[in-house]
Amino acid sequence: MGTVEYSLAIDVDRDFDDVLATTRQALADEGFGVLTEIDVKATMKAKLDVDREEYVILGACNPPLAHQALEAEPELGVLLPCNVVVYRAHGKTRVSAVAAEQMLGMVGNQALEPVATEVAGRLRRVLDAIAAG
């Protein structure tokens, strides 16, 4: 049995804070706002007294696309917003975005296909912009 690819990711040799700022800007350039931001490193330290490298989850939303998706599938809210993760691993900064086509494809509603394709394209461009620096 194969695995399902559920994220698109890149690794960059740049400072975490720089990559996080670049990620926020690239998301904005593609029409995404950041609705939520979870600093996993700080949360794990505060709640469990566990030290870990930087790890931030950005809950990104493109309102027109979210509206279109919710009109087609009201229960889709359980899969929103689109998460983008920025973290340090193995000496690099990794940026990982949800694979929208796979995520929305599991719903089984063909009306979501154009939205999934659009979101996936935008998130790929976000990663391309981060890679370009």
**pLDDT for the residue numbered 65:** 96
Q: What is the pLDDT of residue 40?
A: 98
> How distant, in Å, are the alpha carbons of 8, 109, 124, 129 from that of 26?
15, 29, 10, 6
Determine how many CB atoms are found less than 10 A away from the CB of residue 103: 21
Q: What's the whole-model pTM score?
A: 0.93
Q: Are 58 and 27 in contact (CB under 8 A)?
A: yes
What's the pLDDT at 4?
A: 54
What would the pLDDT profile of 80-98 be if each residue is shown by its tens digit? 999 999 999 999 999 999 9
The domain spans of the chain are: 14-132
Looking at CATH, the fold of the domain delimited by 14-132 is given as TATA-Binding Protein (3.30.310)
pLDDT of residue 104: 83
Q: For residues 74 and 57, give the distance between their C-alpha atoms in angstroms, rounded to a whole number.
A: 24
Of 117, 123, 114, 133, nearest to 8 by C-alpha is 123
Which residue numbers in the chain have pLDDT < 50?
1-2
